[in-house]
Structure formats: C-alpha cells, structure tokens
Amino acid sequence: MSEHIVVYNALDIKEALGIVDKYSITYGVLSGDVELPNAMLMKRDDVETNFNYIQPIPNACIVTIKDNEVHYLTHIRSNGKESRLKNKRSIYFGGHVDKEDIEKSSTGYIVECLVRELEEELNINDKHIYEQIIDNVCKGCIYYIYSSIDDVSKVHICLGMFLEVDEDLPTMSAETGRLEWVKLMDLIKEHETGEYPLDTWSEIMVKNLQLTQGV
C-alpha cells in the first residue's frame, strides 16, 4: 500500500517562493514574510509523476569543524528506494514528510520530519541537534532549492538547513551507506573529475558555497 506524504499545490508553492518555470534552478531563503501553502496528504504513488503537486523534502546539511576547517558529512547511496541517487554523493540527510509528522507535530512538520529522518538515517537523537532545528525554523534559517531540469526534480522541493555536530555523533545506517567527512575543495574536485559525482541538490549547494566562500 502506498504511503501518504505531504504535498503542496504546485502553483501555490511556486507563487509563494517566486519560482518561475523558465529558470531551471531557483534558490533562496524562507524569510519571515514567506508563508508556505497548506500541506495536503496524498498517496505517494499518485504524486511521483503528477506535476500539479510538489513534495517538500526537509533535510539537513551537516557540518563539523576539524583542524579549523569546515567538513561536510557525505554519503553515497548504494541501495535504498531512490534508484536515481545510486552511486551519487550527497551532502543532505532527510526525506518526505509523512502522515505521522503532521499528526503528532507540536513544533511543525518540518521539525518533526527532520528529527525522525536524522534518527533513522544517522542514529542521531540528541537534544542539542533538536534545539538547533527548532532555532533554525524559528529564525527563518531555512533555504529552498527547486530545479526543473528533469521530471523527478520538478515534483520535489528541498527545504534545508545547516546543522553543526560533533564529528563522532552521526553513525552509519542501512539507509545512508558509507559516511565520510569531506572538505568543500575535495567535494568540488571529486565531482568535477567524476570520481564522486554529486546529486542535483548537492551540486547546486556546493556551487553556491563555492561562490560565497570564494573557493
């Protein structure tokens, strides 16, 4: 039986975030005056190829400081549900908002989803991380990435945030595969050489980090 997940009406979320279809990539920050559309629950199988709806994917880019340099937690999926991500490196951890995230939410479904996903994917169940997530949501420190470069991207939108953790906190799960802390320069180099190509959202974020940090 198909699981129920949260979706937005595509026209509503595009209007709220100023997404214009003629641009292949839209990146921005959910400022305080942006109101997300009403969340609807629909069967996942019914919306995976339905361009009238867009599925929000709350996720986190996880960093730690090692030797005075920022390192990004990465994983390469060798199995799991998303075949399109197989053998691609990702700097994101998260997933779909499900029915339970909506029903039990006292802090908002983005928080509930991300807390659940980090526990499932990285075995993280830490009060400090929970407080960081709450703080990011309250302060509007959430960025979004939308891409229309392919049919899969057209029906998903990244709702992301940065979280800083201790190096030894995340541990590998069956979902994530091998974990590795990687510096920005190495992410860029290994993507460009094809040694470890990045998935679409990770590539967009890494290019943005490259620009903002002048790397």
Mean pLDDT per block of 10 residues along the chain (215 residues) reads 88 93 85 84 95 97 94 81 71 95 84 94 89 91 92 94 88 74 96 94 94 78
Q: What does pTM read for this prediction?
A: 0.91
Instruction: Check residue 174 and give its pLDDT.
Output: 57
Instruction: Check residue 164 and give its pLDDT.
Output: 94
Using only the alpha carbons of the chain, give its radius of gyration.
17
Overall size of the chain counted in residues: 215
Domains of the chain by start residue, with CATH: 4-213 (3.90.79.10)
92 touches 160 (CB < 8 A): yes
C-alpha separations of 135 from 1, 75, 138, 159, 162 in Å: 36, 25, 5, 15, 11
Nearest-5° angle of CA 113, CA 146, CA 84? 75
Residues 6+ apart with CB under 8 A from 48: 155
Placement of tokens 């960081």 in the chain: 132
Instruction: Check residue 175 and give its pLDDT.
Output: 64
Instruction: Check residue 140 and give its pLDDT.
Output: 87
Instruction: Check residue 84 and give its pLDDT.
Output: 59
